[in-house]
Amino acid sequence: MKLLVSENIRVALDSVKSHKLRSWLTIGIIAFGIMALVGILTSIDAVKYFLKDNFTMMGANTFSIRNRTLRIHVGGQAPKREYYTIISYDEAMEFKERFDYPSSASVSIRGTGIATVKYKSEKSSPNVGVIGGDENHVTNTGFEIARGRNLSATEILDGRHVVIIGSEIATILFTNDEDPLGKVISIGPGKYKVIGVLKEKGSSVGFSGDRRCIVPLNNVRRYFSRPNMNYNISIQSDNPQKMEAAINEAIGLFRIIRDVPIGEDDNFAIIKSDNIVEMLNDFLSEIKIGAVVIGIITLFGAVIGLMNIMLVSVAERTREIGIRKAVGANSSRILRQFLVEAIVIGQLGGIFGIILGILIGNGVSGLIGSEFIVPWDWMGLGVGLCLLVALLSGILPAVKASKLDPIESLRYE
C-alpha cells in the first residue's frame, strides 16, 4: 500500500512537471487563497498579542474616571458616544482626598500634545505631549522611572518648573550619552529642570509613551491654562482581586461629589485598563471572519481551476488509462491515482500559500513591534482547506477516469 501511494505521488509530480504552466497557475491560485487567509489571520494574532502586552498605558489594576464613554469605531455608522460635564479640578482633588479604599488615586491633566522641547542646539518635533500629574501619576499610568526621581508633593503644590521626560526625548536632546538629570530644557516658552527619565515603553498602535513630559499638576494649570479644563482621575487598586469593589467604592463616592440623585444614571464614565483591548479584539474578530470568507471565496476559484485541469488531464491521458487497465489496474486504483494527483497539486499550493502567509503576517508583526508568530492553528486550517479543495475538484475527474472503458481508451487518439 505504501509503495502504491508513493508511486501515485511520483506520477502526480511527473504530471505537474509535464504541464508546468497549467499546473503552476492552479497552484498559484490555491497559494493566493491560503496566503490571504493565513497572512491576515497571522497579522490579527500579532496585533492581538501586541495589544495584550503593550496597548494599555495604565497598570493592570488601574481604572479611571472620565467625563466621556469609550467608543472604538471603524467604518459604518458610528456608535453613540456619551459626553458628560467636565471633571473640574475641585471635584478631582476632593475625590483624591476622600477616597480611602486600599488603593492609590491620581489626578492628571493634559497640557498640550504639540509642544516642542529644546536643549541647546537640539530640539524635538512639535509632537511632544505635556502632562500635568501628581506623585501617583507615573505608577498609575504603568510607567517606571529609569533614572532620577519622581515629583515631590511640594513641587506639585507649588507648580515648580521641574519635569520627568520620556526616553525618546532624552535620546533626541541629549546626544553623546550626556546625562539629562539636572539639565534645564525648554518646553514651549518655559524652562524646566529635568529630575527624571522614564523607562522606555514603546509605541502602542501609533501612540508613543516615550514622547511625553510629565510636569507638576499645578504647573500645567498655570502655564497651559485654557477654558473648561477637564481632569482625569486614575485609581490603582492594591489588590487585583478587589478591582470591582474598588470601582464600586469610587462610583459611590464620585456620585456623592457630583450630587447625582438616587435612581439617576452616573454622569461620568468608568474606564478599565482592559476596555480598549477588549473592544479592539471584538473588532479584530469581525475582521477575522471577513478574512476567512475572502479566503474561502478565493479557494472556490481554485476548486474550479483545479477541476478543469484534472478533467483536461483525464482527456489527455485516456490512452494511458486504457493501458493501465489493460495490464491489470482496476477502477479503484485509477480513482486513487487521480485523487492523489489533485491532492498533490492542492498541497503544493497550500505549502507555498502558508509560507507566504506566515511571511506577510510576521511582516506586519515586525512593523508594529510584536513577536514572531508561528500560527500552527491557521497552518492546520490551510492544510485542511487544501485537502478539501483537492477532494472537491478531484473527485469528479477521478470517477470519470475510473469509469473509462479500457478498449475504447486504447483506441482513443
Q: What own/partner pairs with CB < 8 Å and gap ≥ 24 does 367-374 have?
A: 368/46, 368/47, 368/50, 368/205, 369/50, 369/54, 369/202, 369/203, 370/46, 370/47, 370/49, 370/50, 371/46, 371/49, 373/42, 373/45, 373/46, 373/49
Is residue 341 within 8 A of residue 22, CB to CB? The reply is no
Least confident piece of the model among 76-85, 244-253, 353-362 = 76-85
Phi first, then psi: what are they for 299, rounded to 5°? -70, -25
| pLDDT band for position 73 (cuts 50, 70, 90) | very low
Task: Give the model's pLDDT for residue 218.
Answer: 95
pLDDT tens-digit readout, 227-237 = 889 999 999 88
Higher pLDDT, 88 or 239: 88
Average pLDDT over every residue of 260-289: 75
pLDDT at 74: 46
**Contact call for residues 68 and 84 (beta carbons, < 8 A):** yes
- Among 48, 42, 45, 49, smallest CA distance to 379 is for 42
Name the DSSP letter for residue 205: T
Residue 307 has pLDDT above 80, yes or no: no
Per-residue pLDDT tens digits for 205-221? 445 568 899 999 999 99
Give me the percent of the chain exceeding a pLDDT of 70.
Answer: 79
What's the whole-model pTM score? Answer: 0.58
pLDDT above 80: residue 61? no
Please report where in the chains the cell 521626560 appears, as a residue. Answer: 165
Between 50 and 84, name the one with better pLDDT. 84
Q: Is pLDDT above 70 for 187?
A: yes
Instruction: Quickly state the pLDDT bin for 28 (edges 50, 70, 90).
Output: confident
**Residues 360-380: what's their mean pLDDT?**
74
Q: Tell me the range of 57-71, 140-154, 388-402 where mean pLDDT is highest.
A: 140-154
In this predicted structure, which of 46-50, 56-60, 87-91, 365-369 has the lowest mean pLDDT? 56-60
Instruction: Say if CB 70 and CB 237 are below 8 A apart.
Output: no
Which of 47-56, 72-81, 136-145 shows the lowest per-residue confidence on average (mean pLDDT)?
A: 72-81
Higher-confidence residue: 200 or 253? 253
Q: What is the mean pLDDT of the chain?
A: 80
pLDDT band at 54 (very low <50, low <70, confident <90, very high): low
CB neighbour class for 115 (10 Å; exposed up to 12, middle 13-18, buried from 19)? buried
| Tens digits of residue pLDDT in 134-153 | 999 998 888 889 999 999 99
Q: Which pLDDT value is given to residue 280?
A: 65
* Candidate ranges 23-37, 96-110, 281-295, 347-361; pick with highest mean pLDDT: 96-110
Residue that wins the pLDDT comparison between 183 and 7: 183
pLDDT of 213? 94
pLDDT confidence of residue 194: 96
Region of 159 (left: φ > 0; alpha: ψ -120 to 50; beta: rest) is: left
